[in-house]
């Protein structure tokens, strides 16, 4: 056996998988949860020690479940939740709880930064992305303003995956893909933007605190002996660059070639696809991130997918089987019901203050079956809005690879295929980010001069990423036509309720 580990430190838990490169099999998995600090002002924070404690627990589970000697693991890589801010001092101390991607308390700081750059278009022109409230940069500004004494101790600005790499190896660095979600990286040149950093801190401490950048296929070091002992692995275990969770999930779904779109039907909805050139979109709703496969990863996130369907399911008192039965007993269009499913506001389109609403009700169509279908259709229309933004940038979709809880529904898969007018298929391993990290560890450890790095990664993805042929769903031409008309009705309702939205 030639063993590798993939680590995914997400918002709710840390997961570890052990993979055998010779057989392309997952031998064992482990998981441990971590809490979150939530405040009424929108703050969402975690202590970095919660991640390292969870990593040790999950690693021990994975080794035990795999039935292996952990010292046989050759290399590992870390996937981490994007956009978080871990401030680290000269002696490696974490100076404050890490603010997370879902922290909305720094909207004023984010707007200040955009204004300082010269406005939205100037920010796009300069960085290639429009910083959002969830990005790292506004968290840095808040830290500097509210903790001036701690600011003086700052040595490194690290993202969650960067911090875990630092904990593992003692090396502080950042990888292009994850770094492009900070709001301080020029995504075209893949360089930190010093002028942007100096707007925040003219004295230069921030510029000095931004860690060196590394390529996706780079080994950054080996595990420190004291950490290797805690994890039950060899101190010679190599640590690959790793990346953000979306970048690792792209590798874990084989989304490293143009034409494939990964779509997550999770609590929120995520769309991303591979591009060979930087995507600096006309729309600020597309995040033109770098990928962790030496390309770019334009990404869109909607806020209401299974969060919306679960709300309706709970209202109706249905379990998941009853909800799916209801979906199967209603026809496209839900008897005329149309929902704007903005229970959590919305990010794409940019409607943070929006609320959900139900339209076109009458005495005959307000049934549990139609309501169930209406929320699924509307959540999917939101993702179609994102697909259309991609198409406006010349990004084509020949296949959609589905992940997330909603992908388990046969009916929902068909609805996605029909609304998007594209074939869909599920991946067999739902821990796409952890699998992507394991594949990246193999890539970095086995890289040779025989062919281009990207070709070697593609060969690994072809071996490890398994598609569920039983889930393959082709669009139904008749339903495609019906849903095209229904989607236009949805857009008409959306723009009448929210005139600021352009389509």
* 119 phi/psi in degrees, rounded to 5: 105, 175
Reading the block at residue 261, the tokens are 């779109």
Reading the block at residue 80, the tokens are 């981490």
102 has a pLDDT exceeding 90: no
352 has a pLDDT exceeding 90: no
- Cis geometry, peptide bond prior to residue 347 (ω within 30 degrees of 0): no
Q: What is the pLDDT of residues 49-91, one digit of tens each?
A: 999 999 999 999 999 999 999 999 999 999 999 999 999 999 9
CATH number of the domain where residue 363 is located: 3.30.420.40
Dihedral, CA atoms, 34, 39, 43, 48, nearest 10 degrees? -30
Neighbours of 496 (CB within 10 A): 10
Q: What is the pLDDT of residues 168-227, one digit of tens each?
A: 999 999 999 999 999 999 999 999 999 999 999 999 999 999 999 999 999 999 999 999
C-alpha closest to that of 213 among 189, 197, 190: 190
The CA distance from 442 to 460, in Å, is: 8
Band of the pLDDT at 281, cuts 50, 70, 90? low
Band of the pLDDT at 322, cuts 50, 70, 90? very high
Which position among 8, 178, 245, 418 bears the catalytic label? Answer: 245
So what's the pLDDT on residue 282? 67
- Looking at the 3D structure of the chain, how many domains does it have? 1
So what's the pLDDT on residue 364? 94
- On whether residue 335 sits in a domain, the answer given is yes
C-alpha closest to that of 273 among 109, 136, 417, 394: 394
- On whether residue 333 sits in a domain, the answer given is yes
Which stretch of DSSP H or E encloses residue 32?
strand 25-33
- On whether residue 384 sits in a domain, the answer given is yes
- On whether residue 432 sits in a domain, the answer given is no
So what's the pLDDT on residue 1? 66
Whether residue 272 contacts residue 297, with contact meaning beta carbons closer than 8 Å, is answered with: yes
pTM comes to 0.93
The CA distance from 377 to 66, in Å, is: 41
- On whether residue 344 sits in a domain, the answer given is yes
So what's the pLDDT on residue 46? 97
- On whether residue 232 sits in a domain, the answer given is no
SS3 call for 490: helix
Return the DSSP state at 345: B
Task: Reduce the secondary structure of 91-128 to three states and give it as a string.
Answer: CCCECCCEECCCCCCCHHHHHHHHHHHCCHHHHHHHHC
Conformation bin of residue 223: beta by default, left when phi > 0, alpha when psi is -120 to 50: beta
- Tell whether 83 is in a known binding site: yes
The CA distance from 281 to 486, in Å, is: 27
- Tell whether 161 is in a known binding site: no
The CA distance from 415 to 379, in Å, is: 11
449 has a pLDDT exceeding 90: no
The CA distance from 432 to 255, in Å, is: 11
CA distances from 451 to 458, 459, 486 (A): 11, 11, 48
Percent of the chain having pLDDT more than 90?
A: 89
Whether residue 9 contacts residue 77, with contact meaning beta carbons closer than 8 Å, is answered with: no
Reading the block at residue 318, the tokens are 């249905």
Q: What is the pLDDT of residues 371-388, one digit of tens each?
A: 999 999 999 999 999 999
Band of the pLDDT at 267, cuts 50, 70, 90? confident
The domain in which residue 361 lies consists of: 306-391+476-497
Residue 469 catalytic?
no
Mean pLDDT of 472-491: 98
- On whether residue 313 sits in a domain, the answer given is yes
- On whether residue 406 sits in a domain, the answer given is no
* 194 phi/psi in degrees, rounded to 5: -65, -40
């Amino acid at each position: 056996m030639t063993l590798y580990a993939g680590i995914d430190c997400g918002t709710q838990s840390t997961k570890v998988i052990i993979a055998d490169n010779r057989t392309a099999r997952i031998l064992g998995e482990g998981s441990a949860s971590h809490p979150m600090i939530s405040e009424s002002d929108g703050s969402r924070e975690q202590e970095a020690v919660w991640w390292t404690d969870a990593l040790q627990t999950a690693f021990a589970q994975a080794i035990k479940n795999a039935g292996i000697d952990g010292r046989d693991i050759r290399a590992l890589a870390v996937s981490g939740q994007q956009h978080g801010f871990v401030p680290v001092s000269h002696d490696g101390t974490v100076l404050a709880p890490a603010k997370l991607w879902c922290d909305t308390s720094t909207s004023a700081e984010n707007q200040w930064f955009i204004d300082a750059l010269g406005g939205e278009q100037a920010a796009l022109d300069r960085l290639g992305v429009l910083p959002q409230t969830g990005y790292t940069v506004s968290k840095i500004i808040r830290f500097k303003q509210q903790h001036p004494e701690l600011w003086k101790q700052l040595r490194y600005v690290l993202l969650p995956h960067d911090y875990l790499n630092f904990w593992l190896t003692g090396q502080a660095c950042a990888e292009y893909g994850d770094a492009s979600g900070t709001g301080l990286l020029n995504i075209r040149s893949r360089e930190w933007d010093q002028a942007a950093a100096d707007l925040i801190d003219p004295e230069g401490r921030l510029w000095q605190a931004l860690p060196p950048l590394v390529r996706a296929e780079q080994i950054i070091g080996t595990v420190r002996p004291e950490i290797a002992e805690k994890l039950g692995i060899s101190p010679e275990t190599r640590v690959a660059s790793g990346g953000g969770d979306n970048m690792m999930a792209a590798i874990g779904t084989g989304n490293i070639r143009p034409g494939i779109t990964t779509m997550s039907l999770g609590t929120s909805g995520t769309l991303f696809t591979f591009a060979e050139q930087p995507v600096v979109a006309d729309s600020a709703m597309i995040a033109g991130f770098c990928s962790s496969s030496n390309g770019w990863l334009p990404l869109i996130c909607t806020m209401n997918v299974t969060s919306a369907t679960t709300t309706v399911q709970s209202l109706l008192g249905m379990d998941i089987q009853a909800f799916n039965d209801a979906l199967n007993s209603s026809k496209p269009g839900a008897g005329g019901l149309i929902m704007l499913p903005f229970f959590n506001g919305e990010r794409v389109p940019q409607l943070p203050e929006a609320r959900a609403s139900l339209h076109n009700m009458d005495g005959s169509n307000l049934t549990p079956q139609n309501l169930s279908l209406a929320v699924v259709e509307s959540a999917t229309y939101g993702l179609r809005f994102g697909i259309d933004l991609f198409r406006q940038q010349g990004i084509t979709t020949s296949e959609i690879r589905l992940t997330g809880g909603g992908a388990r529904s046969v009916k929902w898969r068909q609805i996605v295929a029909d609304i998007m007018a594209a074939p869909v298929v599920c991946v067999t391993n739902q821990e796409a980010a952890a699998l992507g990290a394991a594949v990246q560890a193999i890539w970095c450890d086995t890289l040779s001069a025989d062919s281009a790095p990207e070709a070697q990664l593609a060969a690994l993805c072809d071996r490890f990423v398994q598609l569920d042929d039983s889930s393959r769903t082709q669009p139904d031409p008749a339903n495609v036509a019906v849903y095209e008309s229904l989607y236009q009705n949805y857009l008409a309702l959306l723009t009448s309720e929210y005139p600021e939205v352009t389509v």
